[in-house]
Structure 1
């Protein structure tokens, strides 16, 4: 039976907790959490538009009085201030736990919140990268965009992959983000193998192995029991060797319609394997970069293809995994001008949008709050916090749109092995 909105409150009274809570990982120091500049901007926009919002860490929830330790920015004092607030009606996840200990703490706190409250989330959650690739590759509209992909299943699987892919491979964790813990494997004609990638803290790493067997064992030790994907080493770099990709920010407006906020190019340093900004990359105008690399005519075709593909991809993801407020999509263009879909992110950053233009940067921050306001207006006439999915997806969906995995969440954290022996 399709699920629509929760039951309306017959007396029509507004909810006392009609605020947007921004989930963060609280830490010692100033600022007290990551993305403070972005959240400060959200606070300013919300204040000007009459939307109440505050940041909080889920482990500060008090079950006795149903309150949390909420943070607000004080423009007069120019500092963050905290006070106890009622658990908000709507949650926007912008938490970035750094360590495995912090990730576990965040998961346990959210599990505790979910078990005792009926939560509504502004944005849904995508499953791991392998599941996203699987869903999209089954659709003929996207199969030409998806790189060949397989799960890493030990040294033998990687050896087979290298034989079939001209002695090279690109490995990335199924639940990773920001380019962390990726590694490329490239075998030279003399049999030596170069391993290049990034640590868990995004530091670059590079090492040369005398034999393929040595390289396979080093990769195996580093991966441990994490889940990884193998893909070809696509030639996604500019004329001087710098890696680059394209970030598309898709967001819902206050009428629940998908819009393309902007497209930006991200450029990495020569010799790097990623272009992520967190790994030291820079952003630039997508149109300028594509025109420089591929010419004006091919640039226009690529931008049109990216736009059409982006609308189709978010619609397909939403149909499969439930409703979203925003999704970041990453695309690559190889040296032959072929477009590739790289990955989707349900917690997209904002920094790259500055290079997509002032309007894109402004809208990137305003649109989630506009969409949140429309949800809070609906919640003002209901008497429950319950998301129909009960799993972090937002408030209108159908059974057919439920995640086939049951909750659309990535696999739990896995054992850590550092890349310090490569």
Structure 2
């Protein structure tokens, strides 16, 4: 059974014909956008529940008739079909702009929509990793699991960090995702320095430098003008020395309660510095992996500790950054059995949930729709001219996330 937090007041069940929009970045590929399998699954689940939903790229917004180009999965014909639809009431952001051109186009399109329309987001958005670490480290109940973290400020800052942390460091983009452009530096037994990481396209990087100076110079070119964080290079390894972390998916149910949908282990590809599935990693049972590494009793205790801490983290993140529908939380466990918080993701993938226990994969897809449906039904009976309690309509640079206590 999934862990849940105390219930909020249930929503009134009424019929509604308002729609949920799924934000995507349309491409010329087939299928026409990323995560098409997941979005297809949402269509199937939504059809069973009498929900209208469609995917759309905000770039297709037409202000003259307030429509967008909508993609719908035709279940009977097993194909994607497109047509013009009115801008939806609520949007679920599953867009993945990759190039700088796509990112700029996406941002501009959203600004254009917000200047003329009030748009509501199903899920909130977290700030950069540095801010998340800062907020969580101030909580006494969470400070011990946050790794020491500092902003990279050039070669001198990294050199000082290496002297303090056993000649090793893990560097990550302050606003990166899916393990892209992360890199580690560590002194080898021979006194040389190894750089290991992933490029923007997730291809692995593995390089030996003859000296610390050479390694730092290479990293300086690698980082360029980007903002990076420095952390200790934790020993987060599986039984075969592969990179290992744990993803816990936290989602709200139809009553607005936080639930733990599941926890999965992620094992990195051979030689990889990360365990991300996008970088060739694979998912496994968290319970089995922890038992294999630490024994049944300690493994179960670590799993329960992750779940306990996860409820504290999502509560703190909501208190600070506004409402969310789901958050993915990543943890590491070092060889000594110490639990570490790695990062939070407000646009979590759910591929790993297939290894998180019976029903976790299904719940991972169903929960956002259950939660969205409760909000849509509430909106159908709410005076839209009155801002909901705790917020208002979205304006440029600001979004409304949900309505737990209407």
TM-score category (smaller protein)? over 0.9
Is the partner of 2:359 in helix, strand or coil?
helix
CA distance in 1, matches of 2:75, 2:402: 33
Judged with a 3 Å threshold, the aligned counterparts in structure 2 of structure 1 residues 64 and 15 are, in CA distance, closer, same or farther, namely farther
- On the 8 A contact 1:119/1:385 being kept in 2, the answer is no
Judged with a 3 Å threshold, the aligned counterparts in structure 2 of structure 1 residues 263 and 255 are, in CA distance, closer, same or farther, namely same
User: What is residue 118 of structure 2 aligned with on the other side?
Assistant: 118
CA distance in 1, matches of 2:154, 2:70: 45
- On the 8 A contact 2:330/2:343 being kept in 1, the answer is yes
The gaps in structure 1 that reach 5 residues or longer are 1-12, 399-422
- On the 8 A contact 1:125/1:393 being kept in 2, the answer is no
CA distance in 1, matches of 2:69, 2:245: 39
CA distance in 1, matches of 2:189, 2:393: 53
Q: 1:272: Cα distance to partner?
A: 1.0
Please give the per-residue CA displacement for 1:351-385, whole angstroms capped at 9, x wherever unaligned. 00000124111110001000001111121133359
**Match of residue 402, structure 2, among 372, 395, 415:** 395
Is the partner of 1:374 in helix, strand or coil?
helix
Is the partner of 1:144 in helix, strand or coil?
helix
CA distance in 2, matches of 1:317, 1:330: 14
User: What is residue 313 of structure 1 aligned with on the other side?
Assistant: 313
CA distance in 1, matches of 2:289, 2:39: 30
CA distance in 2, matches of 1:324, 1:51: 21
Is the partner of 2:217 in helix, strand or coil?
helix
User: What is residue 11 of structure 2 aligned with on the other side?
Assistant: none
User: What is residue 232 of structure 1 aligned with on the other side?
Assistant: 232
Q: 1:14: Cα distance to partner?
A: 8.6
- On the 8 A contact 1:168/1:233 being kept in 2, the answer is yes
Paired residues, number: 385
Q: 1:389: Cα distance to partner?
A: 6.5
Is the partner of 1:158 in helix, strand or coil?
helix
CA distance in 2, matches of 1:385, 1:268: 49
Q: How does 1:3-18 map to 2 (within 5 A)?
A: 18=18
Which stretches of structure 1, 4 residues or more, deviate above 2 A after TM superposition? 13-16, 188-191, 381-390, 395-398
- On the 8 A contact 1:322/1:397 being kept in 2, the answer is no
Judged with a 3 Å threshold, the aligned counterparts in structure 2 of structure 1 residues 317 and 237 are, in CA distance, closer, same or farther, namely same
Q: 1:126: Cα distance to partner?
A: 0.4
- On the 8 A contact 1:123/1:392 being kept in 2, the answer is no
CA distance in 2, matches of 1:74, 1:239: 45
CA distance in 2, matches of 1:216, 1:50: 57
- On the 8 A contact 2:192/2:209 being kept in 1, the answer is yes
Q: How does 1:80-229 map to 2 (within 5 A)?
A: 80-229=80-229
Is the partner of 2:200 in helix, strand or coil?
coil
Please give the per-residue CA displacement for 1:14-61, whole angstroms capped at 9, x wherever unaligned. 986x10000000001210100000000000000110010000000000
User: What is residue 244 of structure 1 aligned with on the other side?
Assistant: 244
Q: 1:396: Cα distance to partner?
A: 3.6
User: What is residue 8 of structure 2 aligned with on the other side?
Assistant: none
Q: 1:188: Cα distance to partner?
A: 2.6
Q: Structure 2 length normalisation: TM-score?
A: 0.92
Q: 1:140: Cα distance to partner?
A: 0.6
- On the 8 A contact 1:19/1:52 being kept in 2, the answer is yes
Q: What root-mean-square deviation, in Å, do the aligned CA atoms of Structure 1 and Structure 2 show?
A: 1.7
- On the 8 A contact 1:123/1:324 being kept in 2, the answer is yes
CA distance in 2, matches of 1:287, 1:376: 37
- On the 8 A contact 1:23/1:93 being kept in 2, the answer is yes
Please give the per-residue CA displacement for 1:96-137, whole angstroms capped at 9, x wherever unaligned. 111111111111111111111111100000000000000000
User: What is residue 384 of structure 2 aligned with on the other side?
Assistant: 383
Judged with a 3 Å threshold, the aligned counterparts in structure 2 of structure 1 residues 234 and 112 are, in CA distance, closer, same or farther, namely same
Q: 1:95: Cα distance to partner?
A: 0.3
The gaps in structure 2 that reach 5 residues or longer are 1-13
Q: Higher relative contact order at CA 8 Å, sep ≥6: structure 1 or structure 2?
A: 1
CA distance in 1, matches of 2:340, 2:189: 28
Q: 1:71: Cα distance to partner?
A: 0.4
User: What is residue 36 of structure 2 aligned with on the other side?
Assistant: 36
CA distance in 2, matches of 1:117, 1:384: 14
